[in-house]
Structure 1
Amino acid sequence: MSNLLDSNRFHFLIDALPFLSKYSGSTFVIKYGGSVMQNDILKSSVIADICFLRLLGINLVLVHGGGLFINDWLEKLSIEPKFHNGIRVTDFDTMQVVEMVLVGKVNRELVSLFNQNNVLSVGLSGKDANLIKASPLFPYSNNLTGKIDSVNSSILNLLLLNNFMPVIASVASDLNGTTYNINADTVASAIASSLNAQKLILLTDTPGILSDINDPCSLIKELNICKVRQLQSLDVISGGMIPKVQSCICALESNVKSTHIIDGRIKHALLYELFTHNRIGSMIVL
């Protein structure tokens, strides 16, 4: 068995070699979210894989969610979590919790973990250095869910140029200082677009795009935008997959070369997606 495992590792390395030179110096934006963040074993694996990619010379920006942690705190405070088409409905009280959890807890913990693994990281939110300017997604309402008006990528380029990895929480403010909760997939897409990234990778807790939502084996491994729109019209893409797919389309239309939706619950999913020809998730291209 040991010889077989060693052989598998050897073949994996051979398969990965063509990708290593192709990716070195590229910029990838990774969105990290879902239940993957709650499992300490999976979290350690994801952190290690991201650090490995960084050491290979890939420029990385990490955008994180934290919806399950937010829900836990909302329930502790007797605030009911609400969603519409996969996007959180954010009233004033919910917004306070969102910012506290994403910026004050999740972001700090992730930055600490990366720094412990010798990948120097800097934690940011959309508020820092006017990274993201936002406005209400639903004007004339009390919903503080936001949309992105602009991205100031200068701070990100400065950090990447100096070998720091930006770790970004998905909250931002408008010109008046009002804070908004923004879907992390949307933030990752806008960041990838602003940096002309080679890849946008959404690491989540779904296998990818399924032709049958009840059958994990119906994974569609490669699609173009035309195929995606066809699946949307048939309601095959629904619920929480809607903002993920829309984020991918927006990135592709802004010159990001490829987008990926992969299942972070699978150990080393990132490496399988990036360094094997068969891959493990759904890749969307133009």
Structure 2
Amino acid sequence: MDKIIKYLSTGELPSERHEARNLPVKTARYALVEGILYKKSFSLPYLRCLRPSESLYALQEVHEGICGQHLEGRMLAQKILRQGYYWPTMQKDAIEFTRRCDQCQKFAPLSHTPVAPLTSIVSPIPFAIWGMDLLGPFPMASGQRRFVIVAIDYFTKWTEAESLATITLAKCEDFFWKNIICPFGVPRALVVDNGKQFDNSNFRTFCSNLSIDLRFTSVAHPQSNGQTENMNRGILQGLKKKLNEAKGAWVDELPKVLWAYRTTPHSVTGETPYSLCYGTEAMLLVEI
């Protein structure tokens, strides 16, 4: 990095012939702006090049910081890249960093579901189709909260979640109204399981009055609400990795898990839910 900076600032070539011949070609991919080295990119803005001490801080903050999600190596490198940072060995370093993380090794996800054909539920526009589900019981938290209600938009993958003390029809309706309808508008359809809090005349009437198409997953095939099930696994894994540090205060960790998910590129869209929702990337603590 120092040789590139020196060549870009002074035009001085190394004395070694082979290195002197290759350096101008190599530095063509870089730019020096006010003494700071940036890597040029075809699809992204200039990426700031980090030194080893800076790259270690970036790995630590994005992986296990306040809003870290303990991402696996490749996703960790991709998230740092999208935040505008680069160093030549970032993917290799990210993979090695996650392999040394105790929380990632203890709570790595294991899939026991046999491979089966998937049926996509296509959403034509953002916030048109949502999936909603319940998680728990968790260890008792403040306010006797033991459950989490989760909703995910099928287009942007934006996720909302809230902790609950009890599961009732009124609480489900209140969550849906407050967290989905008020900020994002009335959806065209809602996909839920066959739990009694959803499969009852009152909730059907609630959706019918708003002209929402209420769709139920098959009792024998809950994977038909796959996006919500995948989100549930993500929240569970995030909470498990944070719980050991928070000593059981999972309610306090829930917003951080959601933030990490919203600012991480999704494997399906290739974009972060935050960017698809707001049209720009969120500023993370690593950028401050």
TM-score calculated relative to the size of structure 2: 0.28
Which of structures 1 and 2 has the larger relative contact order (alpha carbons within 8 angstroms, sep 6+)?
1
| Structure whose residues are more often strand by fraction | 1
